[in-house]
Structure 1
Amino acid sequence: MTNTTTAWAWTPYDAPIGPLLLAATGEGLIQVVFHAGPDITERALTRLRGRFGPAVGDGADTPDGADISGISSGSGAPAGPLARLAEAAEQLDAYFAGTLRTFTLPLDWSLTGGFNERVLRELATGVRYGATVGYQDLADRVGEPGAARAVGVAMAANPLPVVVPCHRVVESGGGIGGFGGGLETKRTLLALEGVLPEPLF
């Protein structure tokens, strides 16, 4: 049996919450990685190459990811991974500027599945900007009322943070809960959306 490869690309993204790595296939955005310094970026890329094969531009003169400047995400041509990355960067720019409240990016769910995917899809479509949801409530929404702890595991395994807003999931008692990107990042995102006051410093 031969391994099939999927066309995919990646790019760094300089976000107000720190450097992110964005990866996309022609189907859509497939991964967002927090704190994407050199070591974390290399580990993420090794995993993605192991899953999908070489990235677009691997081995060329672009070791720092795909150059998506000047690529239009709105052309009539079929979208490839570079156009998907350009679209993701454009929408993230608008989100961090406070002018976009709902991501409309195509998403590639290949890096998740089963219960986790069901929970993440519900989170992506059912918890609006500026709102929060408890772990138990999210478990109830997907018809698994005994799975509040498993919802926490699904949040920790979310391959598409920020875009699939696991920062909006909080403890039912009012606590902020955990977050793979760190609690400071979670507070910053919730403050951006008006859920928490802006940090003083």
Structure 2
Amino acid sequence: MSTRKSSVNRVFKKEAERLFHARRRVLRDEQSLSELKSDYLEFCREYFRLLKRTISMTRMADAMQRELMQTNKQLQYAHRKMGTQLEIARQIQEHLYPLETRKLPGLEVHSRYIALDRVGGDFLDYTMPGEGLAGILLGDAAGHGVPASLVGSMARMALSGLSEWNTHPARLLGGLNDSLLHKIDRHYVTACYVIFNAAN
């Protein structure tokens, strides 16, 4: 009887140990499963956070692209408009130059104007300050483009009011300097005025 009881005890003890170890494995597996679930949930949260950010950035990029396209259209329109205005300015400036052949006392003058830009600061004019005299004025406003063109035009207009000094180059250029000195801040004009005397 004692041997049989001892044998049953061993069986129960083994079964109890087996159940104990099985329960420990189940508890470990449950803990691992819980950790895995927690990691998965964290992954899902991070994924949706990144997805939301990506969608937001995509919308922002789309908005910026639309704005860039709109700005580009406005720049193209402004460029075309400026091109048209520069062409008009070029045509006006061309009409200010005496491009046709001019017969002055003792001279036949031919001129041709080719601007570096559409418009420029160069200017040319002829005068007949007296009998047998021919005056040639050649000038250049510093710079290029519209600013130089405007300064050159101002110089030509100023010269029209100095006709009484046509026979005196120094006085004429001095009067031009006085006329422009306070009107063309940070710009300057170089000019040469010569008088040709056909008699000698």
> Would you say same fold, with TM above 0.5?
no
Flag the structure with larger Rg. 2
Per the normalisation by structure 1, the TM-score is 0.28
Higher relative contact order (CA 8 A, sep 6+): 1
Per the normalisation by structure 2, the TM-score is 0.28
